[in-house]
Structure 1
Amino acid sequence: MNRIVGCRRISSRIFLFLGNKILSPLPRSSHSQANPPKPSDLVSPICHLLKNGGKWSSLSSAYSSAELDDALVERIFLNLKEPVDAKGALLFFHWSSQCKSYQHSLKSYCLVIHILVRANLLTDAQALLESVINKNSNPESPTNIVAETLLRSHGDDVVPTPRVFDLLLQTYSKMRMVEQAFDACLYMGDHGFTPSLASFNKMLHVAQRSDWSGLAWKVFENMFVRRVYPNQDSIETMVNLMCKEGCLQRMLRLLDRIHGKRCAPGILVNMALVLRIFEEKRFAQGYILVRRMLQKNLIFDDIMSSLIIYAHCKIGKFHDAAMAYNDMVNRGCRPNAFVHTCFIGARCKENSVEEALQLVEEMHSIGLNPYDETYSYLIEGCARAGRLEESVSFCKKMMKEGFLPSLPAFSEMAVKLCDLGEVEKVDEILTALTEKGFAPNEEIYCQLIHGFGRIGKAQRILGLYYEMVHRGFVVGLPVYAALIRSLSDCGKMKDAKKFIKMMKGDAERAMC
């Protein structure tokens, strides 16, 4: 019995000895210690380390010799995509950025940004967005490359969070890259993502502060296209923009002529947007937006109808304009001076002056007063039709009422009068207008110079030249040509040669 127990003890000792030998690590050669672990073996241990509170020093001590590539890095990020692991993903991102011969791809940036936004680590996400935008903002990079990559990495790889696209727009805006922000906004909209009101307001604010008025109006229009309706901040920004553009007073006057009383600032800004779209001849977009505004009570019925009539008249659809007018009146909206002016302008452009004059009489009969644009249409239309006495009469009448004609209207009247030798009458009217603040252009001065040349008034020709210089005009080739020809017609060859010499000198300086 004692022999059996003794044998068992010896066997246990032998087994224990052999077991310890098997389980103990084999001595490593210097060659095996230099070999880095295989990339395929790194994903799980790195993720395990980071999920269990691993720090920078832990990564460095264990994996400093690891060879990183994009595929490996992206697999690690996808294993850390849950919000609880987001800080670990950010730690690995920064640690791997310090590894030799490795630079993060655009996709790895976007994956980490998605993870951080989902975990509500917005400050860190925005910092990475600023970095990746700076890295991809060179002229050779496609405009929407960051937005495209964010969209491609959005889906099965990471849980969707549209907030990341809002953060992209707001980051672009913060960096004063509003054009890129708007391009990304359009791109995202085409792929089913609608920016938030906060993102639109940020773009509006930066565009307005940077004096990019055209871009601000595009952003404001896109809000309605995406059915993101402006709030008080949006409207205040656009009112400030209109003040900078110098169009606020014009819009206020127009609103008074249509509606008869002041409205909320939002109505004013929305009206200005639709009018701007129609002036750009984008009629289909304007029709859609103005009706959408009416449905949301963002514009009044009479303003909507008046703008639609304006659009129909602008493209010569007079039958549609008349139908829209009748529909407006039948709905209880009052006729207004703006609508009548639209019809008058349309009739003058098609040389139906008699009908335009009848519309003026109709305006007076229902208590509506013509204004500067009404008179300008009549001056130009009557002059084109050869009814110069009526054209001059309307010009004098509007001056008495405190209005000034448009440059095209006065120019049309001046041409016709000068052709008939009535240049002195044009000069007299122009003198009265300039005293009231009218600013003639180069074309009007050329007309007067030619007119005085026909009647041999050389001194007045020279007087017009000095008047132009006094007003700060840069005398160009058309004016030199008019001066030289007209002075030659008057027999003043010495003066004509002086202007030839001046013209040559200006041309030589321009070439240097």
Structure 2
Amino acid sequence: MTRASLNTLNHGLVKSANFHGNFVSKLPFSSASSSSLQTIENSQSKPLINPLYNLLPETQNPNKIVDLISSSLKQNSSQLTLLKNDIKPLIPHLGSHEITRVLLRFQSDSFSASTFFNWVKNDLGIKPSSHNYCYIVHILTWSKNFPLAMELLCELIDFVKDCSNCEDVFESLVLCSKDCNFDPVVFDMLIKGYVRKGMVKEGIKTFRNVLEVGHLPSVITCNCLLNGLLRLNFIDQCWLVYEEMGRVGIHPNTHTFNILTNVFCKDGNADKVDEFLERMEEEGFDPDLVTYNTLISSYCRKGKLNDAFYLYRIMYRRGVVPDLVSYTALMSGLCKERRVREAHQLFHRMVHRGLDPDIVSYNTLISGYCKEGRMQESKYLMHEMIGNGISPDSFTCRVLVEGYAKQGRLVSALNLVVELRRFRVSVSSDIYDFLMVSLCHEDRPFAAKSLLERISQDGYLPKPDIYNELIQSFCRCNSVTDALLLKAEMLCKRIKVDLVAYKALICSSCRIGKAREAESLMEEMLKSDILPDPQICRELIQCYCKQSDMGKAESILSYFAKEFQIFDTKSYNILVRTYTESGDMDKLMGLQDRMMKLGFAPNSLTCKYVINGLLKAKRLNNHKLLGSQMQ
């Protein structure tokens, strides 16, 4: 672009930029040469013009800092490293104004300009201003160094976003364009930069600003903006951008229509697709493979299989050959409707037409068979897949293992894992987690522990949750010794034992009558700063009541109330019921007085136990009286 054409564009920008408010009155576009560098208004520091500075040596004269840097750059960019030490006293004087002057001296040498910019930013640790960024972006864009220009433009977007002055990047780029070589493609890059950063609203604003100053973004830029809007589900804005493209004369391409087809599908307007396809053809574009695949996938997701297969047949008539994506989408739709046999037939048709199935198409069928509980067919497909040189992925393994588990065939699932390992298929840790948890839930902790020992040799590290499941399962099976060994293993591996594990161990110990061991575990738990809960209190009291150690049971209840503010009525009622069963009402009344002082309040069940106790005591007294009279 010539200087004359740039000036013409600049005048056009000023004329049509009335939307900028106060910014418009400051636009300095003119036919003046860009050599008038002293008129730059956007510097953070004013030029130093004190004549007394000229009495100093060059390396100490702030007025010479731009010349010194420029001279070093012209000699060799590596000279900047040496220059840093020579001009150390002058570095505080290297402000935004001076950085801009150096950049403009090298606007036709983008390599030197970017070397200097990086030196300032990285070696000197000076934070460039937004205008410094604008100048280097303009220089790089003019030199067609688009990757680096985009990288710095994204840095500028982040820089402005983090500032509190609400500066507009577009306005800054327009303002700085008067002093340097300028290519309007920078505005396209700005829109793409906003989309890349997920700032799509800013991208739309810039798109409209660019149109207002008379520049037409490329259709590629518009497609990028449409894609960004689609990803964020801004459906209405997609149509507004498309309408604006038509209004200003930006001609869409096939990619534009494919994006809009996705918009149709997301918007739920698949019924209007025929109308849209007609409009597409009127614009001179025939629907391509991407268009059809997008529509077929959408119809299949919504359960409109008749419409999907209609499009599948239309593709052949229009000379568009379905690919793996087309067939896989149709198979997935059939599997969702539990028509796996038809999906498998379509799979064979696909292979017959020369398409090699991939991992996705195999997984679609395997998943469909697993959901129907047809594990034999699923496993056959897995073997076929391996035979064709396609290694099962984590999805394949997970679906098959869960399929066997749903049928209660965990042994088959374990055998499958062994088989997969033999085929050198990597089995993910979450599958092992699933198997061990499933075994534990079936109260088969020894099988789970055996599996853990085998896979630990391959580097598998169980999470604390897996240890908890194992400990709980061992405790449910009253295998407390094995559970304690697991706890010791956790401590050796520096895995913190939590309340879940301690509670399982304590409750299990109480159930088998090992109250002292349970108390010891609770003491260990308290030393680890883990507080007990009401269930632990309940189990301990019940254990001591079974052993007829009522004094210990009462002391446990008092201890939990005083130390942890746990007033568990169920625990209290266990004591009450034990006393009433013995018919010792004097001790029961004494217990009630002591517990009420602690803060326990009897409930309806407590009253029921007391009444039953009184009736039982009365029967015992009557029995004793009758016995004495008979004597």
TM-score (ref. length: structure 2): 0.42
TM-score (ref. length: structure 1): 0.50
